[in-house]
Amino acid sequence: MKLRTIIFALAAAAVSALPASAATLRFAFQGEFKSLDPYSLNESFTLGMLGNVYEGLTKRDKDLKIIPGLAERWEQVEPTRWRFYLRKGVKFHNGEDFTADDVVFSAERSFNQASDIKSRIQPAGTKAVKVDDHTVDFILPSPNPILHYEWDTWYIMSKKWAETNNSAAVQPATGTQMSYAALHTNGTGPFIITEHQAGVKTVFKKNPNWWGKPEHNIDEAIFTTISNDATRVAALLSGDVDFIDPVPLQDVQRINASGVAQVLQGPELRTIFLGFDQMRPELKYSNVKGKNPFKDVRVRKAFYLAIDEKAIADKVMRGAAVPSALMISPLLFDLAKDFKRPEPDPAQAKKLLAEAGYPNGFEVEMDCPNDRYVNDEAICQAVTAMLARAGIKINLNAQPKSKYFAKVLQSGGYDTSFFLLGWTPGSFDSWNVLANMYRCRDEKGVGGNMNLGGYCNQKVEVLTEKILVEPDKAKRDQMIKEAYTIGQEQDVAFVPLHQQALAWGISKKVKLAQRADNQILLYWFHKD
């Protein structure tokens, strides 16, 4: 009897271990996939993952061009009134119909206190108004020709579903209590999340009732986090997973030579940079008391000059990074060529620090993620050593991204003195960079929400407002250039480091489209 049970169990196990007949894709990323609430964290990876499940009014194609999403078409009735005609017959995963009410609800929800995507609908004070069940008007206080540029990652949620499940409020990124919407999804997209163990494993299943025409053949996709670089590569080469992101740069050659997988590299639009707290009267984590050294432009400039970005790009990034003089990729701004990084000059850096009153340097804590960007912790360590030569002692606090973001972002009260961060402008346009990172903000984060250091200059402020409404490209580019000249060259609001290269590890069985914003979009995956 007992023996039979065992045989039975073994047989059952053997059957379940057989590969499913339909295409199952297994993929792994270095960091965790935590909250499923699409408004919790304005971060490319999380937004990309949720982009398989949720959809915005607009979408972006493989070349990042804006295409219709949940809105079939749209028009500017007048400069301050945009009309969106919603797609008919679209259903949420739970069977509810998608209507104008959901759009109005989602717009309001994006302004929620805990929302990390408050800047999606700009300028402040814009209202969504239902015209009929499938038409929504957006009424703007002042014109904004790029209103819809970032709407591909402003995902529409179901009003009824969110309200019945007590999820009308956004799950804060810092929160330990996960709300219903942080653990479940109900989108309109091509995939349904059927299982989510926050930070461990997430299962996506094909949505058979999706309104669009699927270009993929994935029936099931299983996501896991593999934070260890060597393990992630080993998993790809052994066939345990079909896709990894990112490939550790030291293993690119080995994967390409393996015959079972290859590395797909491409330019990425994300800029990796260092930022300073320039807002608090006294730094939270430093031995300088009573004043904030980063308020002094000479100190910021000294940090900039102390860093040898070429060495970082060559050695830490193994050449897979382009040093940047701006906070935006040159691919996204035509006049970027007019800006040059200063040559590293530790002696000059020391001199500037001495002039600013710190001849012996000072001590400051640096916040750094260790599973977000390519070699992020190694970059921070290199920066630590370079600054040590200028007399600055950095106490490095490298943490997983979930803890790191919860500390440094608005939801954590901008709890940082000096940090490393990466930014891809969601609209692929400079206005996003200026509005999110150079615009002044208050303590609560109203204004430049991603301006973690609280840089503030009225000239840049005024220019940012003008750029938003300027229709002429040449004029607009000149204004952008002027804003960068003030904010970056003169004020050194940040220390831009580089644009990292995308490096995806892909099994030979898989074909896909790689988009320069590094979002993993399963609906372009094809597995043999």
Partner 1 sequence: MADTTALLVTRITTRERIRAVLGSDLVYSFLRSRVTIAAAMVTAIIVIAALLAPLIAPHDPYDLRQLSLLDSHNPPAWLSGGDMRFLLGTDDQGRDVFSTILYGSRQSIAIGVMATLFAGMLGISLGLIAGYTGGTVDAVIMRAADIQSTFPAILIAMLIDGTSRALFGEQRNEQIVFWVMVLSIGLSFWVQYARTVRGSTLVEKNKDYVLAARLIGIAPVKILFRHVLPNVVGPVLVIATINLALAIITEATLSFLGLGLPSTQPSLGTLIQIGQKYLFAGEWWIAIFPGITLAALVLAVNLLGDWLRDALNPKLR
In terms of Cα–Cα distance, which of 339, 322, 240 is closest to 516? 322
- Asked whether position 398 contacts partner 1 by CB under 8 A, the answer is yes
In terms of Cα–Cα distance, which of 442, 429, 444, 481 is closest to 460? 481
- Asked whether position 7 contacts partner 1 by CB under 8 A, the answer is no
- Asked whether position 230 contacts partner 1 by CB under 8 A, the answer is yes
Of 43, 152, 251, 470, the one binding partner 1 by CB under 8 A: 251
Binding characters for partner 1, 266-305, by CB under 8 A (x = yes) = -------------------x--------------------
- Asked whether position 396 contacts partner 1 by CB under 8 A, the answer is yes
Of 37, 152, 308, 429, the one binding partner 1 by CB under 8 A: 308
Report how far residue 223's alpha carbon sits from residue 225's, in angstroms, rounded to the nearest whole number.
7
Q: Which of 120/407 has CB closer to partner 1? A: 407
- Asked whether position 205 contacts partner 1 by CB under 8 A, the answer is no
In terms of Cα–Cα distance, which of 168, 128, 169 is closest to 151? 128
Q: List the interface residues with partner 1, window 431-490 (CB under 8 A).
A: none
Q: Can you tell me which residue has the tokens 């060597």?
A: 230
Of 91, 254, 280, 341, the one binding partner 1 by CB under 8 A: 254
Residues whose CB falls within 8 Å of the CB of residue 228, separated by 6 or more in sequence, listed in order: none
Of 169, 311, 335, 513, the one binding partner 1 by CB under 8 A: 311
- Nearest distance from residue 382's CB to partner 1, in Å? 5
- Nearest distance from residue 417's CB to partner 1, in Å? 11
Q: Which of 365/491 has CB closer to partner 1? A: 365
Q: What is the SS3 string spanning 39-62?
A: CCCCCHHHHHHHCCCCCCCEEECC
- Asked whether position 227 contacts partner 1 by CB under 8 A, the answer is no
- Window contacting partner 1 (CB under 8 A); options: 35-43, 201-209, 210-218, 393-401: 393-401
Q: What does the block give as tokens for 315? A: 């050695």
Q: Which of 216/232 has CB closer to partner 1? A: 232
Q: Is the dihedral of CA 291, 296, 299, 300 positive or negative?
A: positive
Report how far residue 422's alpha carbon sits from residue 275's, in angstroms, rounded to the nearest whole number.
10
- Nearest distance from residue 392's CB to partner 1, in Å? 10
Q: What is the DSSP string of 479-510?
A: HHHHHHIIIIIIT--EEEEEEEEEEEEEETTE
**Residue at 102: amino acid letter:** D
Of 66, 297, 331, 378, the one binding partner 1 by CB under 8 A: 378
Q: Can you tell me which residue has the tokens 């393990």?
A: 231
- Nearest distance from residue 367's CB to partner 1, in Å? 9
Q: List the interface residues with partner 1, window 346-375 (CB under 8 A).
A: 365
Residue 273's DSSP bridge partners are 421, 496
In terms of Cα–Cα distance, which of 243, 328, 306, 302 is closest to 520? 243
- Which residues of this protein are in contact with partner 1, per CB under 8 A? 228-230, 233-234, 248, 250-251, 253-254, 285, 308, 311-312, 314-316, 365, 377-378, 381-382, 384-386, 388-389, 395-399
